[in-house]
């Protein structure tokens, strides 16, 4: 019996070290690895599919943008020849002057020499008496007249400038309107409409400038009439005061006889 136990112990001790050198195969772990790999591949395929879908979406959007551009056009590529003339007209300094500026530059000497380009006759700064003496005309009475002449010249200059500009602006409006007919895109139509709006505003502005120049002349004429009436009232009061004073002095110098005049008797 003891020999059998010893043999069994020896056998176990010699078998176990030999089995430790064998490769252990676990089917469950192997299958799990295959499943994990398949899941990773599936996730990668899904990611690729998502990217492909995004590419299709972007391609569709790009095609829509191209179609939109075909329909509406590219505003940056629409060039209009009437834009620059409009910009030049809007940037132009107005020719007309304000009434205060005109009044500050009034020259009585110019009023004496004024002839409206030959329409009137100049009176000159001096005149000659029948005795041959040369007399200088006083400047102060001619200042209001010089102001009216200034505002009249200003109106004529603005009127001539407005007429020239109106002709040019109408030609640009006609040219822009003609371009509307062959316009193939909405961008071109919108730009042309914008230019037409600007040209119409510039055309209306010429009327405003002309009205302002006309108003300056009318206001100055009204001011002159008012001053003339003011001077007449002042002169009337002065004459009345002088008459009253002269009459009082006359009464103090010459006394009326209140006693009966004696007549000689025989």
The per-residue pLDDT for 136 is 92
What is the C-alpha separation between 94 and 165, in angstroms, rounded? 11
The per-residue pLDDT for 1 is 47
DSSP for 43-71, please give it: HHHHHHHHHHHHHHHHHHHHHHHHHHHHH
What is the C-alpha separation between 121 and 104, in angstroms, rounded? 25
The per-residue pLDDT for 79 is 64
The per-residue pLDDT for 5 is 43
To the nearest 10 degrees (0 to 180), the angle between helices 186-253 and 83-91 is 20
Tokens of 52: 């492909």
Domains in the chain: boundaries: 34-72, 75-114+140-251
What is the C-alpha separation between 166 and 139, in angstroms, rounded? 39
Walking along the chain (266 residues) 10 residues at a time, the average pLDDT comes out as 44 46 61 76 81 79 62 60 79 84 89 87 89 89 91 92 92 88 76 86 89 91 87 84 80 63 62
């Amino acid at each position: 019996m003891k020999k059998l136990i010893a043999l069994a112990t020896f056998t176990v001790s010699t078998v176990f070290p030999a089995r430790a050198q064998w490769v252990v195969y676990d089917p469950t772990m192997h299958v799990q690895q295959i499943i994990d790999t398949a899941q990773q591949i599936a996730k990668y395929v899904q990611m690729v599919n998502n990217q492909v879908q995004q590419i299709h979406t972007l391609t569709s959007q790009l095609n829509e943008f191209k179609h939109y551009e075909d329909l509406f056009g590219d505003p940056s590529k629409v060039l209009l020849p009437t834009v620059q003339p409009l910009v030049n007209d809007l940037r132009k300094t107005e020719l007309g002057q304000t009434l205060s500026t005109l009044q500050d530059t009034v020259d009585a000497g110019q009023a004496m020499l004024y002839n409206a380009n030959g329409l009137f006759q100049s009176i000159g700064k001096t005149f000659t008496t029948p005795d041959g003496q040369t007399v200088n005309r006083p400047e102060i009475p001619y200042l209001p007249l010089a102001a009216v002449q200034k505002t009249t010249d200003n109106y004529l200059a603005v009127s001539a400038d407005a007429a020239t500009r109106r002709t040019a602006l109408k030609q640009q409006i006609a040219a822009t309107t003609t371009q509307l007919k062959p316009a193939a895109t909405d961008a071109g139509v919108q730009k042309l409409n914008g230019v037409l709006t600007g040209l119409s505003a510039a055309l209306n502005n010429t009327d405003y400038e002309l009205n302002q120049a006309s108003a300056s002349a009318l206001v100055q004429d009204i001011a002159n009439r008012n001053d003339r009436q003011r001077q007449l009232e002042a002169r009337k009061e002065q004459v009345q005061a002088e008459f009253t004073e002269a009459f009082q002095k006359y009464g103090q110098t010459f006394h009326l006889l209140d006693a009966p005049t004696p007549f000689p008797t025989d």
